[in-house]
Amino acid sequence: MRRSFLLLMVLTCLLGTACAARADLRLVHAERSLYREVLVYENGDVRCMCFTRNCRVGRQSCLNTRHPDRIVMNYPQLMLGALFVNPAPRSVLIVGLGGGTIPRALRQMLPDVQIDVVEIDPAVVRVAKRYFGFAASAQTRVIESDGRVYVKRAHRTGQRYDLIMLDAFDHEYIPEHLLTQEFLEEVKSLLAPGGVLAANTFSSSRLYEHESVTYEKVFEKFFNLKRDNRVIVARPGSLPDAAQLRANATRFAAAFDSFGFDVNEVLPLFSQQRDWNPRARVLTDQYSPANLLNLDR
């Protein structure tokens, strides 16, 4: 029992949730969709969406039920750091809904922004609305579609976004077809001038070097934000310097405080240091062996 508890804590910390979580999870909802089992667990004041029983492979999204405006997990904090690169997006595309933490936060900070959320699983949308306070509207559209299919269609219609956030996961990791150079080129084509991409990945996996060189192939340079998860922030062309990042960050200091964290916790994480093997093989539609490489756990 002790060994299982420690394993749960290690997985929890690696996947970006509070390391103080306890093993006494209470199941409050379960439903099986076409794609997965969608489960909701509570542990004290923390409610989490998981795709595996007892959240054994991490949490997709978490909510503090007593303080729902607070952001519980680390990775959404890093994803919102993309606003330090482009502080005034008018249109946002989010691939992967989870519990809807990121679109809810963006709506609070940028009330006039148009947000399109692409989520393949209708069950996730239902659970996000019922248990995590997510609400769709004319300004926050939900499109039930595979992320890559939507990106291809949006490109054909000439759609452009100022900010694109990739946050699609299955019960193990990012789906293979959303990891490749071809997909990232398609995403890049949807960026408006000055547009920014933020992508949630793992900070430790056997795919780390392959993912890194693939993003490097498409964007040349990017910011590599690492805490529990790794968030890649990129845009075509040059990246802002530290002074510009700080100036943009100050615009969101009050909002971040209301979410329970400080912009100064995120700013030092904006690194361009290359910590991967540049000779690693780029992931392509012909070479995307996520299921063969497996993740370190």
70-96: b (≥16 Cβ within 10 Å) or e: ebbbbbbbbbbbbbbbbbebebbbbbb
Active site residue 167: yes
- CB count in 10 Å sphere of residue 256: 22
Q: Are strands 114-119 and 91-95 parallel, antiparallel or unpaired?
A: parallel
Q: Which residue has the tokens 């148009």?
A: 114
Backbone angles phi, psi at 118, to 5 degrees: -105, 120
Residue of 121, 162, 167, 228 marked active site: 167
From CA 173, how far away is CA 108, in angstroms rounded? 29
Provide the phi-psi class of 96: left if phi over 0, else alpha when psi is between -120 and 50, else beta. Answer: left
Burial class of residue 235, CB neighbours in 10 A (0-12, 13-18, 19+): buried
From CA 71, how far away is CA 133, in angstroms rounded? 13
What residues are labeled active site?
167
